[in-house]
């Protein structure tokens, strides 16, 4: 997928990784970049800052009608969509005490958001002969780590969504899953004590653009995420014991 000349939609595009992606897509010569976000005001000001190639659409990715309306609006103005980045996510969470409301929010935004987008944009892309669909998942969806119970579980499911789409709709649709470790965005503050220093948004965006342009499925901005996945595949019990030890050390130093 070539970014230059593309019509692109980014959900959660008003902040953090999504905003960084929108900015970079425009620098690379995308024709149109739609900043879609629950926060309509932030989406408007992001689009205004990004310039003429950007526009804003208010959208709640957890509401299928809202996602359908976003896609219809973009098709009505731009004519087609080359790349859809299902990036919007929520990090709010807890442990065993996470309420049903929190589980529901994680599920609806982090999992059903990409599902609704795929349901309504992939048939359009297939009717044109191709396109690209990207899910911003997380390394928490590969190896869990110390993030909250509901967040880590929902991100495993988000990777499941991307994998299913790649297997059932690739290679016509180039599917990627971006799996960063901790990133320096407003969401990072919700994760509390962590095991590492955050990555910069610019580093995540550079890695994501490389992966999307190369048509790669798994995008891990830091090699450690892939190394941990490999360790898990080689020795699942050993991986869990090692991870549990690291998380226990982290908690005892809090």
Catalytic residues: 151
Q: Which class for 184: exposed (0-12), middle (13-18), buried (19 or more C-beta within 10 A)? A: middle
For residues 97-118, one letter each, b for 16 or more C-beta atoms within 10 angstroms of the residue's C-beta and e for the rest, the string is ebeeebbebbbbbbbbbbbbbb
Least CB distance from residue 238 to ligand NAD, whole Å?
24
For residues 9 and 114, give the distance between their C-alpha atoms in angstroms, rounded to a whole number: 12
Write the CB contacts of 233 (distance below 8 Å, at least 6 apart in sequence): none
Nearest residue (CB) to ligand NAD, 62 versus 143: 62
Least separation in angstroms between CB 149 and ligand NAD? 15
Point out which residues bind ligand NAD (CB under 6 A). Answer: 11-12, 14-18, 37-39, 42, 59-62, 87-91, 109, 136, 138, 180, 182-183, 185-188
Closer Cβ to ligand NAD, 18 or 146, answer by number: 18
Helix (H, G, I), strand (E, B) or coil at 192: coil
| CB of residue 128 to ligand NAD, shortest distance in Å | 25
Shorter beta-carbon distance to ligand NAD: residue 39 or 242: 39
- For the bound state, the minimum distance from the C-beta of residue 210 to ligand NAD, rounded and expressed in Å, comes to 17
Residue closer to ligand NAD, measured from CB, 47 or 183: 183
The sheet with strand 173-178 has its strands ordered as 54-58, 32-37, 7-11, 83-86, 131-136, 173-178, 218-219
């Amino acid at each position: 997928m070539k970014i230059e000349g593309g019509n692109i939609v980014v959900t959660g595009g008003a902040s953090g990784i999504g905003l960084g992606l929108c900015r970079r897509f425009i620098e690379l010569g995308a024709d149109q970049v739609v900043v879609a976000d629950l926060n309509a005001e932030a989406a408007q000001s992001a689009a205004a800052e990004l310039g003429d190639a950007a526009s804003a659409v208010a959208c709640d990715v957890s509401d299928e009608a809202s996602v359908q309306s976003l896609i219809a609006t973009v098709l009505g103005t731009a004519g087609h969509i080359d790349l859809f980045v299902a990036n919007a996510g929520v990090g709010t969470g807890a442990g065993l005490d996470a309420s049903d409301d929190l589980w529901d929010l994680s599920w609806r935004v982090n999992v059903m958001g990409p599902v609704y987008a795929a349901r309504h944009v992939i048939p359009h892309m297939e009717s044109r002969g191709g396109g690209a669909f990207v899910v911003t998942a997380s390394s928490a969806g590969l190896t869990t780590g110390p993030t909250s119970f509901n967040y880590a579980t929902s991100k495993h499911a988000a990777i499941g969504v991307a994998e299913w789409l790649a297997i059932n709709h690739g290679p016509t649709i180039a599917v990627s899953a971006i799996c960063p470790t901790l990133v320096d965005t407003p969401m990072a503050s919700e994760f509390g004590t962590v095991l590492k220093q955050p990555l910069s948004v610019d580093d995540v965006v550079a890695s994501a653009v490389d992966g999307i342009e190369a048509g790669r499925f798994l995008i891990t901005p830091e090699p450690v995420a892939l190394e941990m996945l490999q360790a898990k595949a080689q020795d699942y019990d050993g991986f869990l014991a090692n991870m549990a030890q690291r998380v226990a050390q982290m908690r005892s130093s809090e």
